[in-house]
Amino acid sequence: SQQGEEDPQALSIQEGENATMNCSYKTSINNLQWYRQNSGRGLVHLILIRSNEREKHSGRLRVTLDTSKKSSSLLITASRAADTASYFCATDASYSGAGSYQLTFGKGTKLSVIP
């Protein structure tokens, strides 16, 4: 079964508002990542948070991790129309070999920011 599950599946907000997306997972992890995907394009890495970290910031992004609840949240502050995209969390489910890890992605949250 998939490791990461994002919630909500879709989110629509007005420009300037904050957007919060959640991710839950099932097994222990070394780290959790968030990726963004514009429609029909490749994924872009946003931020990585390690299992021993509780919060991390990058520009307008804030990620929290609660390993006791096996959950993470991504907050985008002061949203812009350009933030419209799908957002995925990914957990490192298994180690596949030298320098490579298998990531498991959720189905994503589709964010629409209305100008």
Q: Which residues bind other proteins (CB under 8 A)?
A: 2, 31, 33, 35, 40-45, 48, 88, 92, 96-108
Residue 6: CB minimum distance to other proteins, A? 10
Select 9 or 18, whichever has its Cβ closest to other proteins. Answer: 9
Longest dimension (CA), the chain: 45
Its sign, for the CA torsion 41, 42, 47, 52, is positive
**Backbone Cα Rg of the chain:** 14
Residue 53: CB minimum distance to other proteins, A? 13
| Tokens encoding 4 | 């990461």
Residue 73: CB minimum distance to other proteins, A? 19
Residue 15: CB minimum distance to other proteins, A? 26
Separation of alpha carbons 112 and 23, rounded Å: 18
Select 36 or 70, whichever has its Cβ closest to other proteins. Answer: 36
| Tokens encoding 90 | 């990914």
Residue 81: strand, helix, or coil: helix
Select 67 or 101, whichever has its Cβ closest to other proteins. Answer: 101
Select 33 or 79, whichever has its Cβ closest to other proteins. Answer: 33
